[in-house]
């Protein structure tokens, strides 16, 4: 979704939602990693003498560690590669308006690395937010409170605590009904 504001009625509801989101991102990261691995194995056969294949294979091996190490390694590798491609003009990307175009396996590998890196950053942000929630729960926060969370780039950034009005809450869950039961003859 990108940017959104979501309201949660309880700490458990919010924690469950975060756990689901983390699981989805982890599955997506695994899928992209498998895709990248398959692409690199294919490229090693057809482009084995090209420098980008060897660097990509090394970067992928580094991505198998914890997300933080992977993100740092991938960013460092990316920054070095960006500088070289700009100086040498050896980039596989062509600017077309506001978008970059590429038709090579190198471009496909680059976008997979970037996507995995971005997803892993989001997982880290969600894990940190979940840890913060657990700390808040330990100190007793969570009773009679609504949680309004601001998500930016799918990661929680801000949390507003809103006290529930107990009379309003009771009225919201008030149930009235009339039942008619026919009399039974004996």
Q: Is the residue at 25 inside a domain?
A: yes
Would you say residue 89 lies in a domain? yes
- DSSP-derived secondary structure for 51-90: HHHHHHHHHHHHTTS-HHHHHHHHHHHHHHHHHHHHHH--
Number of domains in the chain: 1
Q: Are 106 and 52 in contact (CB under 8 A)?
A: yes
Does residue 155 lie in a domain region?
Answer: yes
Q: What is the distance between the alpha carbons of residues 123 and 128, in angstroms, rounded to a whole number? A: 9
To the nearest 10°, report the CA torsion of 132, 138, 142, 143: -170
Over residues 23-60, the pLDDT tens digits come to: 999 999 999 999 998 888 887 777 665 565 556 655 55
Percent of the chain's residues with pLDDT above 90: 34
Query: Are 113 and 59 contacting, i.e. CB atoms less than 8 angstroms apart?
Result: yes
pLDDT at 59: 59
Quick one: pLDDT at residue 72? Answer: 41
**pLDDT beneath 50: ranges in the chain:** 65-90, 167, 169-170
The pLDDT of residue 105? 84
Tell whether 119 is covered by a domain.
Answer: yes
| Domain that includes residue 41, residue range | 4-172
Angle between helices 105-138 and 67-88 (to 10 degrees): 150
Longest dimension (CA), the chain: 99
Q: Are 56 and 73 in contact (CB under 8 A)?
A: no
For residue 161 the two structure tokens come to 């605590």
| Average pLDDT score over the chain | 76
* Inside any domain, residue 45: yes
Q: Is residue 34 part of a domain?
A: yes
pLDDT on residue 40: 85
Inside any domain, residue 186: no
Could you tell me if residue 120 is inside a domain? yes
**Is 180 in a helix, a strand, or coil?**
coil
CA nearest to 63, candidates 29, 105, 21: 29
Its pTM stands at 0.65
Query: For the chain, how far is it from start to end, CA to CA, in angstroms?
Result: 64
Kindly report the number of other CB atoms within 10 A of residue 56's CB atom: 25
pLDDT of residue 137: 83
């Amino acid at each position: 979704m990108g940017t959104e504001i979501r309201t949660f009625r309880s700490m458990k509801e919010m924690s469950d939602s975060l756990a689901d989101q983390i699981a989805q991102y982890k599955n997506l990261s695994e899928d992209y990693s498998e895709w990248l691995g398959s692409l690199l194995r294919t490229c090693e056969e057809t482009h084995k003498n090209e420098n980008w294949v060897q660097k990509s294979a090394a970067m992928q091996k580094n991505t198998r560690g914890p997300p933080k190490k992977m993100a740092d390694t991938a960013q460092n590798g990316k920054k070095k590669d960006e500088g070289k491609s700009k100086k040498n003009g050896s980039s596989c990307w062509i600017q077309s308006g506001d978008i970059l175009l590429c038709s090579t396996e190198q471009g496909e590998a680059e976008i997979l690395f970037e996507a995995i890196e971005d997803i892993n950053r989001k997982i880290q942000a969600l894990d940190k937010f979940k840890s913060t929630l657990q700390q808040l729960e330990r100190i007793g926060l969570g009773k009679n409170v609504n949680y309004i969370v601001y998500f930016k780039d799918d990661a929680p950034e801000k949390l507003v605590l809103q006290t529930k009005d107990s009379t309003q809450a009771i009225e919201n869950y008030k149930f009235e009904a009339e039942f008619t039961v026919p009399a039974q003859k004996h």
